[in-house]
Amino acid sequence: MYHFVYGSDDGWDPHAQLVQNQNGALYGTTTESLNNPGTIFKVTDSGVLTTLYRFCSAGDTCPDGGFPEGGVIQGADGAFYGATKIGGDPLCGLTSGCGTLFRFDRSGLSTLHVFENSDGTAPQAALYQASDGNLYGVAAEGGDLDASECFGEGCGTLFSVSPAGTFNLVHTFCQSSGCPDGRVPLGPLTQGTDGNLYGTTTFGGSSDAGVTGQSIRILGNNLLGTTGVTFNGAPAQFTVNTNSFITVIVPAGATSGTVQVTTPTGVLSSDVSFYVSR
C-alpha cells in the first residue's frame, strides 16, 4: 500500500496499529521523520499518504511532544487521541521532556496534558476510551521516584484524561517493596465485560524475572510457523500454541538480554530485555 523511506519528510519507523475512520481512510503515526520526532499521517486504500502533523513543530523544546510510539485512537467524538514519549516540559527528565497527551482534529493538534515525572514519564502505549468516555493509559516510568527497583526513574503510572483535558492519576506502580503490583507498563489497557480495565506490566509481580527451565509465554502476532526462539542468543525449546501465543522454556545457560522469535515473515525482537535471575 505504501512504503516509508528512511530519511524522508513523510517519516519512517511506525510502531503502532492503524485506525480506520468511517470514510475508510487509515490513520497512524511514525516515530521519526526528516526533521521531526514523528508524524501523524493518513493513507487511503489506494496508497496515497498525507502527513497531517509533524511533532516538535511548535518549538525546539518540543512542547507538543515527540515520538508518538503508541499511535492514535479515534474517540467517540471523531477526534484522534494519543501520547508522546518525550516533549512537553523541557525541565522534566533529561531536558527532553517527560511526554504529553494530545488530541488531533480538523483544527489541528492540542495538548491535553504535560507529564511532570510524579504523574508519569514516557507513555508509550495507545490510549483506550472506556465506557465512561474518559481515555485511559499508562506511562512506562515516573510516579514514585523513590522506588529503588526502578533506579530513581519511577516504575510507571496508570492515568485517565477526559477529551477536554482533565487529568487524573489513577495508580502509581511499585509503591511497595518488590513491586507486587508490577512495574514498567508498556502495553495498552482494555476494558472487560465487567467494566474493569485490564493491562500488563513488563516486570514485577511474584517473580520479577525468569529462571532457567521456567516455562513462559510469548504473545505477539503472526506466530504460526515460528522456527526458532532465542534468549540473548541462546536457543530455546518452544511450542506454538496459536497464531498469537507461544510457550517457551528458558534455556540452560541463558543470560539477560533480548528475546528473538524467528517467524516466516521475519525476526521479532522483544521491546525490553528479559532478565534471567539464575
**Higher pLDDT among residues 183 and 272, named by residue:** 183
Q: Which three cell numbers mark 17?
A: 496499529
- Strand 238-242 to strand 234-235: parallel, antiparallel, or no bridges (unpaired)? unpaired
* CA–CA dist 40, 28 (Å, integer): 6
Mean pLDDT value of segment 178-193? 88
- Strand 26-30 to strand 128-129: parallel, antiparallel, or no bridges (unpaired)? unpaired
Mean pLDDT value of segment 39-62? 95
> Which pLDDT belongs to residue 180?
81
**pLDDT > 60? residue 207:** no
**pLDDT > 70? residue 214:** yes
**pLDDT > 60? residue 211:** no
Using pLDDT thresholds of 50, 70 and 90, give the confidence band for residue 226: very high
Nearest to 160 by CA among 145, 171, 147, 149: 171
**pLDDT > 90? residue 60:** no
Question: What's the 3-state SS for the chain?
Answer: CCCCCCCCCCCECCCCCCEECCCCCEEEEECECCCCCCEEEEECCCCCEEEEEECCCCCCCCCCCECCCCCEEECCCCCEEEEECECCCCCCCCCCCCCEEEEEECCEEEEEEECCECCEECCCCCCEECCCCCEEEEECECCCCCCHHHCCCCCCEEEEECCCCCEEEEEECCCCCCCCCCECCCCCCEECCCCCEECCCCECCCCCCECCCCEEEEECCCCCCCCEEEECCEECCEEEEECCEEEEECCCCCCCECEEEEECCEEEECCCCECECC
> Which pLDDT belongs to residue 210?
55
Question: What domains does the chain contain, in order, with CATH numbers?
Answer: 19-198 (2.120.10.30), 215-269 (no CATH)
* CA–CA dist 176, 196 (Å, integer): 23
**pLDDT > 70? residue 73:** yes
Mean pLDDT value of segment 83-112? 93
Mean pLDDT value of segment 15-32? 95
**pLDDT > 60? residue 44:** yes
CA–CA distance from 107 to each of 82, 110, 208 (Å)? Answer: 16, 9, 45
